[in-house]
């Protein structure tokens, strides 16, 4: 299955309610204005959401703070704001608010399992620097 990106609400006017299907090639032909979710991340999100109430969604946000100025935040939501960007891949729904979207343009949301542990990782082309653990960044 591929990835679909849907913009809704007032922010959608500018994005023209785009839905992007990346089933054939997840990185080719995707509008770089949108972040993408890897298959590994979608599987992990689906596993997390399976233990949550029906209708739960996974939110990725950018907040001020961290050792580099901004930090990524991950949370479970049961309501979607009218201006959220919703990315659906393999049954997992990832929400991103419009302010965070400006920092996540072209980013790739992944899930890694390495020596230091399992975690979501954001490969962000907008970050000019990041901390050693990868949870905070500057632009």
Domain boundaries, the chain: 3-138
Q: What is the pTM of this model?
A: 0.73
pLDDT at 56: 96
Decide which of 103 and 66 is more confident: 103
Query: Tokens 């920092």, residue?
Result: 103
Q: Given pLDDT bands bounded at 50, 70 and 90, which one contains residue 55?
A: very high
Q: Supply the pLDDT for residue 37.
A: 96
Question: Is 40 in contact with 108 (CB distance < 8 Å)?
Answer: no
Q: How far is CA 64 from the centre of its chain?
A: 17
Query: What Å distances lie between residue 44 and 39, 48, 50, 81, 112, CA to CA?
Result: 9, 6, 10, 23, 10
For residue 13, the model assigns a pLDDT of 32
Give the model confidence (pLDDT) of 86-130 as tens digits. 999 998 999 999 999 998 999 999 999 888 788 898 888 877 656
Within a 10 A sphere around the Cβ of 12, how many other Cβ atoms? 17
pLDDT tens per residue, range 13-41: 333 333 333 333 344 444 567 999 999 99
Out of 3.30.56.10, 3.30.1490.20, 3.30.9.80, 2.60.300.12, the CATH code matching 3-138 is: 2.60.300.12
């Amino acid at each position: 299955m591929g990835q679909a990106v849907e913009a809704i609400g007032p922010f959608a006017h500018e994005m023209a309610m785009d839905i992007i299907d990346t089933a054939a090639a997840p990185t080719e032909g995707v509008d770089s204005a949108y972040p993408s979710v890897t298959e590994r991340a979608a599987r992990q999100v689906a596993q997390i959401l399976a233990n949550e109430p029906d209708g739960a969604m996974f939110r990725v946000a950018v907040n001020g703070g961290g050792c580099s100025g901004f930090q990524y935040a991950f949370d479970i939501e049961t309501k979607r704001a009218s201006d959220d960007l919703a990315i659906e891949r393999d049954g997992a729904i990832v929400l991103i608010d419009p302010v965070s979207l400006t920092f996540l343009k072209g980013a790739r949301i992944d899930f890694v399992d390495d020596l230091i542990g399992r975690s979501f990782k954001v490969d962000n082309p907008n970050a000019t620097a990041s901390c050693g653990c990868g949870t905070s960044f500057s632009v």
